[in-house]
């Protein structure tokens, strides 16, 4: 606990000493020096009351304990941040799930999104649905290699009609060259790298950096 002040005055019989503190803050060392100075200049015929000395000594001990506690908490905080960053780096190469397959179509009438294919796709179908699960558009996919691939939707349904701006969902089902049936969707991406900005971890998912707080689950492939 710091004691905020600008000038501390110690009054004794016939003597007044002023201790100038340019920073305006008294730490434990300053507080101890003031106590020693006060004892040195006390009136021998009227010494300080023992209760007052005990009270000031107690305050000094409290200040010392508070200072040590603050330093310990700072060290714990720094250690926790370091451990947290190390654990986040360990997520590189794993799969991050943001918890939904949402894309947003704005008034411009088109939107861009990315899909991660864990395996090569020999053929497949991409479906865009509304919030009620109705299929708005279904697109047959050609063969696609594994990895993250970009897509652009022009904002029209399967009949070519423009749909309203809003939130839609994108899901994909596909067959591998070996005939295995797999699914994927928007919102599932491998963590390619981690960037730290002002203590916040940002995960590189596809071509974007996403705050760690937006990720709902991380798991191995």
The pLDDT of residue 48:
56
Residue 170 has a CB neighbour count (10 Å cut-off) of: 22
The pLDDT of residue 15:
46
The pLDDT of residue 6:
38
The pLDDT of residue 46:
60
- pLDDT digit string (tens) for the chain, length 221 residues: 333 333 333 343 444 455 555 555 555 566 667 666 766 666 565 655 556 665 766 766 676 677 667 776 765 555 455 555 556 788 899 999 999 999 999 988 899 999 999 999 999 999 999 999 999 999 999 999 999 999 999 999 999 999 999 999 999 999 999 999 999 999 999 999 998 888 788 999 999 999 988 999 998 86
Residue 91 backbone dihedrals phi, psi, to 5 degrees: -85, -10
The pLDDT of residue 126:
97
Ordered structural domains, the chain, with CATH: 3-89 (no CATH), 95-219 (2.60.40.4070)
> What is d(CA 126, CA 172) in angstroms, rounded to the nearest whole number?
4
Tokens of 62: 């409290």
Angle between helices 50-89 and 28-40 (to 10 degrees): 170
- Beta-bridged to residue 22, according to DSSP, are none
Which residue is associated with the tokens 């905020």? 4
User: What DSSP character marks residue 212?
Assistant: G
- Beta-bridged to residue 148, according to DSSP, are 116
The pLDDT of residue 172:
98
């Amino acid at each position: 606990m710091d004691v905020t002040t600008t000038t501390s005055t110690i009054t004794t019989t016939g003597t007044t000493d002023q201790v100038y503190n340019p920073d305006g803050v008294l730490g434990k060392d300053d507080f101890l020096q003031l106590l020693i100075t006060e004892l040195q200049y006390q009136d021998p015929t009227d010494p300080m009351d023992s209760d007052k000395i005990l009270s000031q000594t107690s305050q000094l001990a409290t200040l010392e304990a508070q200072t040590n506690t603050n330093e310990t908490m700072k060290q714990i905080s720094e250690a926790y941040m370091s451990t947290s960053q190390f654990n986040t780096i360990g997520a590189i190469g794993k799969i991050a799930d943001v918890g939904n397959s949402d894309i947003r179509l704005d008034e411009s009438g088109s939107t861009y999104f990315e899909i991660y294919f864990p395996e090569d796709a020999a053929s497949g179908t991409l479906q865009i649905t509304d919030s009620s699960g109705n299929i708005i558009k279904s697109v047959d996919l050609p063969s696609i290699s594994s990895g993250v691939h970009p897509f652009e939707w022009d904002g029209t349904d399967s009949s070519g009609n423009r749909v309203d701006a809003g939130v839609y969902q994108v899901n994909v089902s596909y067959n591998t060259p070996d005939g295995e049936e797999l699914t994927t969707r928007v919102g599932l991406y491998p963590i390619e790298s981690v960037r730290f900005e002002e203590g916040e971890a940002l995960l590189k998912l596809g071509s974007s950096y996403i705050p760690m707080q937006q990720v709902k689950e991380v798991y191995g492939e």
